[in-house]
Structure 1
Amino acid sequence: MSSFSSLNTALTGLYAQQRGLDVTGQNVANANTEGYTRQRVTMQSVGGTTAPAVWATQPKVGTGVDVTGVQRLRDSFLEARAQAEHGREGALTAEAEAYSRIEQAYGEPSDTGLQAQLTKLWQAFGDLKNVPDGQAQRQAVLRQAESVTDGVRRAADYMDTQWHVLREQVVTTVDTVNTVAANVADLNGAIRRATQAGLPANELADRRDQLVMQLADLTGAVARGGSEGTVDVYVGGQALVRGDSSTRMVVPAADGALDRLGDDVPVSWAGTEGSPVEVTAGRLGGELRALTTTIPGQSAQLDAVAASLRDSVNAAHATGYDATGAPGGAFFGGTSARDLTVAITDGARVAASSAPGARDGATADALAKLATRPEGPDAAYRALIVDLGTSAKAVNDRLEIQGTLTSRVDASREAQSGVNLDEEMVNLISYQHAYEGAARLMTAVDQVLDTLINRTGVVGR
């Protein structure tokens, strides 16, 4: 081995420490860049010659250091955990927003809510009981009944509107998922080409991992490492992204003339429309759950309240007689909350007495007492509001807890992959001193060689 190899050893040290300084500078420059993963230079020592050769000697020491690559300091376990937590938080966020919109349909408690209108209706029947033949009291009953039916229909229409708005949002969310998945596939392809060519791809991987986390937020997707630096992304056990190709999701565009509250919203894989996408997490999962379960369930409860109001009032009204002496007919008409109407338009047709020509107000009294019946419409409406409030609070509590868990996982990820300026300063000093040491070694070897070449054999001249 040539004595000049020591110069090469020093040179490799200079190159390696300079690369370390470059990477440290990159970390410091991107300390506040969102999604950036800190990097570290990986080095390994270069051993001496292991193959024997004629007239060659081996000093039994290495020949320097080699930079084997620049590593992203990312914990795959924390990434998988974060994807799962973000998916759960996305679903709960969508559900909480759905409950918030439903609560706006009722506006309880308030002086203008449906509960207040029902109370005023029973009070109007109570006033009619005291003055059975009063025209003003009869008209007040009809006006208040119309206010109640308007409130019920308005709540039903509001939920129909929110269902269709959310239906449109599902289409938008699916389009976003398809766009992000295509971008992930494109970045996978770029990373694969860079890896094959021996070029750096860490920044491309950072951008791709941000998009993968966005897919986790949207669909609860999970990522698995692939070949040559790529990742595969799965939703419901099916591949959304595999290498540099992605599969599209499809959902029929909303059609107001055909889509109705309670209809299924099919989300399937493109080319296999009969194969549904099993989305249970992420914003898309929460939106689908709200469309198929939450809003239809609340709408069904409102229909039950409307049916209870119609049937109980009609039954009590049919037992009495109106101002003309005719038996009381149906007071309310309609088959659901959406078409609940007041069937009487003439105040004289309101049945208030228990017999023809009587002025006892017994029927009006029975109608007023519906307010306190355990199985009456008020009780059904209160049960609806209590169930809505309880369900909304449960979802919001779960969302708060999930938000805390997600924040903790994100903090752990940041501690692992984020840039710590104190640590980078220590690394900077370490690489600087190592660089100075390698330079000093090169100077010392140069002096030795100068003595050997220029001064050997000149003693005594």
Structure 2
Amino acid sequence: MGSTFGGLNTALTSLYAQRRGLDVTGQNIANANTEGYTRQRVVMQSQNANLVPGIYATTSAVGSGVTVSSVERLRNTALDQRSFTEHANSAYHNERAGSYNLIEDVFGEPSDTALQSRMQDMWDGFNAVAANPDKAAPKSALIEQATTVAASLNDAAAALDSQYESTRAGLDTYYKDVNKAADSIAKLNKEIVVAQAAGLQANELQDQRGQQMLKLSELVGATATELPNGAINVYVGSGPLVSEFSTREIEIETGGAMRLDDLNSTTVNLRWKDTEAPVAAGGTMGAQMELLAKGGTLDTINTRLNEIANKLADNVNDKYRTGYSSDGTTGEDFFGTYNGDLTLTAANIGVKVSDPNKLAISSGNPKGTPAILNGEVADDLSELSTSRTGADSAYQSLIGDLGVSAQSSIRRRDIQNAVTDQVDGARDAESGVNLDEEMTNLLTYQRGYEAASRVLTTIDSMLDQLINRTGLVGR
């Protein structure tokens, strides 16, 4: 049969177990607002008095108390994997939508000061000159209006190039962050494996690793698989980034395009450092690669803007060359490059006429015989605003396509963020700290500790009676 002294051990194990429960509950409460923290739960297990039952080695004792078998980390692996995927998608769509918003800001349509309005002012200026071919004021106004159009194209091209450069600089920072996070995960893998092999809890280390993994998923669309020993392998696309305790680095190929104009001769390549194979990036870096690539978003819009500048220059110059200025000059161009480059683009288009008297708007020579001064060429130029193949039409098509793409990216971003919020909500419901629940647990362990103390006090009283008072009756 069980010994009276055995009850002391039973009560003592309960004190230890309830105190451990209080410690874990206090840890949960302390980290209620810690980002990435996963709540923990004490798992208690009753101890059998017959640890190795046998025929001739038995006891009638009901048990030998309680022990804490483990401290569980209440994490759902499936929800974690889903969270990594959804956060990667959200980061991708957020970056993409943000890029389109910046591009729309470049053009600022519709607006009285945007390019479309300024081109219309220029066509109206040609019309005013056609009505008053002998007046200097309309000619001066026209030159100024045309200069404003060219400056708007210059500014738009410069803004697109500036967005390219800033995104490219961000990509240089992000790939280094990816390598650092991968190194952190490999180190945490080793610490977790060693801890678990020694029978120790590694819950806080796993939380730290989860935060690094979430960062990687947002940066580059990384995914993870868990190994039996507690480590994880991390993949970008189908390529391994972390394999237990070792890592691979990613890099941007040296000599990659730093400006939009560089895409004519090179491009941006994100690759594995060891094999030089391309990295199938997702997340923020995936969206940036789409933006920076040759034939990507910025390159496509810049190309179309250059086409608009060339159409404007070609259409105007073709008619303008047939005209005569007040001093009889003819065959000159109205638009050209302000920096002397042979290839005209939106970045270098300029107005070549600065003297109103040099404006060739007459169909005849004012210095000829007979002298002819009219505004027929200017009138023909003003009608280019309605051309279906002109610069206005091409620009309207660009703005329309940009608007559709921007709205589509915003809708997809909003939908994806809603999905991500739902997944995060489900994960937090399971792994997040609920202070009401923890306060209940706190009271539960407190009462358990008090009850175990009472048992210990009762047994102590019984032993005192047995040892100090038994056999003293009648003395």
Q: TM-score, normalised by structure 1?
A: 0.90
Q: Match for 1:308 among 311, 323, 326?
A: 311
What secondary structure, in the 3-state scheme, does the structure 1 residue paired with 2:229 have? helix
Preserved CA contact (<8 Å) 2:257 2:263: no
1:309-329 deviations in whole A, cap 9, x for unaligned?
A: 122212332444444556544
Q: Matched residue of 2:347: which SS?
A: helix
Paired position in structure 2 for 1:180: 181
Q: 1:259 to 1:358 in 2, by over 3 A?
A: closer
Equivalent position to 1:270, from 260, 263, 273? 273
The answer to whether the aligner puts 1:359 opposite 2:373 as a matched pair is: yes
Cα distance, 1:383 vs. partner?
A: 2.0
When structure 1 is superposed on structure 2, of 350-359 and 208-217 the one drifting more is 350-359
Q: Does 1:342 align with 2:356?
A: no
RMSD: 2.7
Distance 1:242 1:255, change over 3 A: same
Deviations 1:243-292 (A, max 9, x none): 2222211114667589724642111112222x01101x211111111112
1:111 aligned onto 2:125: no
Counterpart amino acid of residue 400 in structure 2 = V
Q: What is residue 221 of structure 2 aligned with on the other side? A: 220
* Partner secondary structure for residue 433 of structure 2: coil
**Residues 248-263 of structure 1 aligned to structure 2 (within 5 Å):** 248-252=249-253, 256=258, 260-261=262-263, 263=266
Does structure 1 retain, via aligned residues, the 8 Å contact 2:2–2:61?
no
Q: Does 1:408 align with 2:432?
A: no
Report % sequence identity.
44
Which residue of 1 is the match for residue 339 of structure 2? none
Q: Secondary structure at the match of 2:300?
A: helix
Question: Which aligned pairs between 1:123-162 and structure 2 lie closer than 5 A?
Answer: 123-162=124-163
- Check whether the contact 2:29–2:438 (CA below 8 A) recurs between aligned residues: yes
1:433 match? 447
Partner of 1:399: 413
The aligned residue for residue 237 of structure 1 is 238
Q: Which amino acid aligns with 1:218?
A: L
Measure, in 1, the Cα distance between the counterparts of 2:261 and 2:248.
Answer: 26
- Match runs of 1:25-104 below 5 Å: 25-49=26-50, 51=52, 56-59=57-60, 61-104=62-105
8 Å Cα contact 2:257-2:268 kept in structure 1: no
Please report how far the alpha carbon of residue 179 of structure 1 lies from its aligned counterpart in structure 2 after TM superposition. 1.4
Taking a change above 3 Å as real, the CA distance of residues 120 and 49 of structure 1, as seen in their structure-2 partners, is same
Give the TM-score taking structure 2 as reference length: 0.88
Change (3 A) 1:172 1:82: same
**SS, match of residue 276 in structure 1:** coil
Equivalent of 1:330 in 326, 329, 333: 333
User: For 1:52 and 1:388, how far apart are their aligned partners in 2?
Assistant: 78
Q: How far off its partner does 1:449 sit?
A: 5.1
Q: Is the 8 A contact 2:323 2:363 kept in 1?
A: yes
- Name the CA distance, whole Å, in 1 between partners of 2:193 and 2:101: 45
Q: CA deviation at 1:38?
A: 0.9
Question: How many Å apart are 1:445 and its aligned residue?
Answer: 4.2
Cα deviations across residues 224-243 of structure 1 (Å, max 9, x unaligned)? Answer: 21243322221112222222
Deviation at 1:347, TM superposition (A): 3.9
Which residue in 2 is equivalent to 1:383? 397
- Cα distance change, pair 57–164 in 1 and its aligned pair in 2 (3 A): closer
Q: Is the 8 A contact 1:353 1:359 kept in 2?
A: yes
- Name 2:386's counterpart in structure 1: 372
Distance 1:312 1:431, change over 3 A: same
Distance (Å, rounded) in 2 between the aligned partners of 1:437 and 1:451: 21
Structure 2 unmatched runs, 5+: 337-342, 366-370
Work out whether residues 161 and 259 of structure 2, in 8 Å CA contact, stay in contact via their aligned partners in 1: no
Whether the 8 Å CA contact 1:322–1:328 is kept in 2: the answer is: no
Shift of 1:126: 0.6
- Pair 1:299-2:308 in alignment: no
Q: CA deviation at 1:68?
A: 1.3
CA pair 81-258 structure 1, distance change in 2 beyond 3 A: closer
Q: 1:191 to 1:221 in 2, by over 3 A?
A: same
Partner AA of 2:162 in structure 1:
T
Letter matched to residue 230 of structure 2: G
State the alpha-carbon separation in 2 of the partners of residues 168 and 348 from structure 1: 48
Supply the distance in 2 between the matched residues of 1:127 and 1:393 (Cα, whole angstroms). 39
The change in CA–CA distance for 1:261 and 1:99 in structure 2 (over 3 A counts) is farther
1:12 alignment counterpart: 13
The answer to which of 297-306 and 314-323 deviates more is: 314-323
State the partner residue of 1:208: 209
Q: Which amino acid aligns with 2:317?
A: N
Q: What is the alpha-carbon distance in structure 2 between the residues aligned to residue 325 and residue 449 of structure 1? A: 128
| 1:419 is aligned to 2:433 | yes
Q: Out of 27-36 and 139-148, give the one that drifted further.
A: 139-148
The alignment partner of 1:241 has SS state of strand
Amino acid at match of 1:306: A
Q: Which ranges of structure 1 fall in alignment gaps of 5 or more residues?
A: none
Supply the distance in 2 between the matched residues of 1:94 and 1:142 (Cα, whole angstroms). Answer: 41
Distance 1:366 1:110, change over 3 A: same
Distance 1:27 1:326 in 2: 86
Tell whether the 8 Å contact from 2:188 to 2:205 is kept in structure 1 after alignment: yes
Q: Distance in 2 between matches of 1:314 and 1:102?
A: 29
